Structure 1
Amino acid sequence: MGRGRRAGTACARPGRRKGTARCRLSRSGGTHATFSEGVLRPRESNRQGRHLASFALLLCAEEPTHGLALHRSINKLLPEGLKVDVGNLYRLLREMEARGTLRSEWSTVGSGAARRVYQITPVGLDELADWREDIARRRQAFDLFIQRYDALPARNARALKESAK
């Protein structure tokens, strides 16, 4: 058995095992987010849903909400071209509830059909804090990239002038 693994403990994410370096929060024995090389990786690997879980947790932390309202709120927040598919969101909400980051209750407030209202849990608040830390780290790297990229034309012009001498 590999270093750091415990027999018989399965991670909440298929294909992972508790106690491995890829599963940072598993030692507590609870439901948890999955980490890969120290960076929180949501289940969705496509660009559209890469940070969908972070937005869902954030908005549910602000106030309990039902799926369709959550879908509308996320799409209002995201820049043009990064819209979320409602089916992907509902799939994610079910997965997050299974992991214990969200809980839901049926609500019959107002007219119309009953709605499933999602609320963040203590496990979800921990995962939200991890998302915040991860996004802040990535933002620093992206800011550095943009700064260096914006400086490229000046660097290239100087190099061309010097090589022409």
Structure 2
Amino acid sequence: MLDDVDLRLLRHYQHDATLGPADLADLAGLTVATCARRLDKLQAAGVIRANRAVINWRALGYEVEVSLRITLDKTQPRAFDDFLDAARNVPDVVEIQTFLGRVDLRLSVIARDMAHYQHIYRSAILTLPHIADIEALMHVARIKSDEVLPL
């Protein structure tokens, strides 16, 4: 169970994971040693999953994002496993989500332009196994994309 100190530490840490131990400890009202111990404990418990760089893929020339809603042929016993194994290997697929309901999966695909997307779609997406239906949604704007929790 997380206590108020853990929550306070996480609140500051999630806003800027690049803070040094002394700065983070100061913001959270902890000693540096206590801050380090608590961070280690939160990482070991799986509360803090990773520290990573978030790269703006548009700055690297990727201008198109498409969300593909995919329904699989569920008469095939390995439909999900086979599809996921293959989809993980498509480098332009940046996110895979599974759902319960009419739509089984959602893939987020990025491309440099529409010609590049068309190539990815024809050569990599349509060759994925056990697809029964695909609906493509062209991304227009990202209104909110926040991994910060209301702690």
Greater strand proportion: 2
**TM-score, normalising length: structure 2:** 0.30
**TM-score, normalising length: structure 1:** 0.28
Higher relative contact order (CA 8 A, sep 6+): 2
Greater helix proportion: 1
